Amino acid sequence: MRQQPGVLIVEDEPAIAELIAVNLRHHGFRPTWAIDSATAQAELDAVLPDVILLDWMLPGESGLMLAKRWRSNPRTKAVPIIMLTARGDELDRVAGLDAGADDYIAKPFSTKELLARVRAVLRRRAPEQAGGVVSIGALSLDAATYRVSFNAQRLKLGPTEFKLLQYLMNHAERVHSRSQLLDQVWGDHVFIEERTVDVHVKRLREALGAAGQMIETVRGAGYRLTAQAAPASPAQAND
């Protein structure tokens, strides 16, 4: 029997946490509640959830600081994070995404929207099995084993960055608009701003290191992954 996906709710308002937990439980999830940063860390140390719902404002460390710390830890790096907050300004949303959140939902929100976003990040976390291994120059992605390497060196990518790279590599040399990437990577039923794409492209480039230059920004059009911008391999560099 397939185990229900686990969701860690990090929220200091009991009424909100209980409402989220009841709806998650009703729709086939296993919610766990942490009231502050210390409790949340203890829960993560015990069992890794499939998704984290993280409130921005918390006693002790803020959700923003927790997201940054969990993204820098190899054990928790790949766990999807959805930020929950009353801070709805664009700068705050970008700050949350820059801190490592995969998605962002402003309070008050509908439980239907929250459930849709949880399901969306879970779909993005599981790579498409179709496609197998795709290689462009020295950059290689294996969808079956969830591995990315460049010049035979393993790279660590978050779930959204993996999905984004997988799509770009499977459609290399083509220019993709931000709206196209949102539809293909996030899904056309998810309500996310186009600015989110820029944040994840930046994060993907950083994770790829030298290979990041293979992702080109086409001004006024979108993004393209091209082998023409691939850096020389060590062997080529020494020729």
pLDDT digits (tens, 9 = 90+) for 59-99: 888 888 899 999 888 888 888 899 888 766 666 667 777 77
Does the pLDDT value for residue 210 go beyond 80?
Answer: yes
Pick the CATH number of 6-125 from 3.40.50.2300, 3.40.640.10, 3.30.160.270, 1.10.3720.10: 3.40.50.2300
Q: How do beta strands 153-155 and 103-106 pair?
A: unpaired
CATH of domain 133-237: 1.10.10.10
**Cross-strand bridge partners of residue 176:** 223
pLDDT for position 235: 47
Beta bridge partners of residue 222, listed in sequence order? 218
Residue ranges in 126-232 assigned as alpha helix (H): 159-170, 178-181, 195-208
Residue 137 has pLDDT above 90, yes or no: no
- Residue 236's pLDDT is 45
State the pLDDT confidence band at 104, using cuts at 50, 70 and 90.
confident
Position 237 scores a pLDDT of 43
* Structure tokens that stand for 133 in this block: 């291994």
Q: Is the pLDDT of residue 174 over 80?
A: yes
Let me know: does 98 contact 83? Beta carbons within 8 Å: no
Q: Per-residue pLDDT averaged across 200-225, rounded?
A: 93
Q: Is the pLDDT of residue 152 over 50?
A: yes
Mean pLDDT of 110-135: 76
Residue type, 56: W
Residue ranges covered by each domain of the chain: 6-125, 133-237
Give the model's pLDDT for residue 77.
83
| C-alpha distances out from residue 180 to 91, 164, 167, 184, 215, Å | 23, 11, 11, 6, 16
- How high is the pLDDT of residue 130? 46
Q: Is the peptide bond before 108 cis (omega within 30 degrees of 0)?
A: yes
Alpha helices in the chain (DSSP H): 14-26, 37-46, 63-72, 90-98, 111-125, 159-170, 178-181, 195-208, 234-237
CB atoms within 10 A of CB 92: 17
State the DSSP code for 154.
E
State the Cα angle at 58 between 79 and 76, rounded to 5°. 15
Residue 157: name the closest of 205, 199, 117 by CA: 205
User: pLDDT averaged over the chain?
Assistant: 83
Kindly give the pairing relationship between strand 147-150 and strand 153-155.
antiparallel
Q: Is the pTM of this model over 0.75?
A: no
Work out the pLDDT band at 1, boundaries 50, 70, 90: very low
Is residue 217 over pLDDT 70? Answer: yes
Give me the mean pLDDT over the 17-26 stretch. 93
Element of type H or E holding 215: strand 215-218
Give the pLDDT band (50/70/90) at residue 203: very high
Helix (H, G, I), strand (E, B) or coil at 232: coil
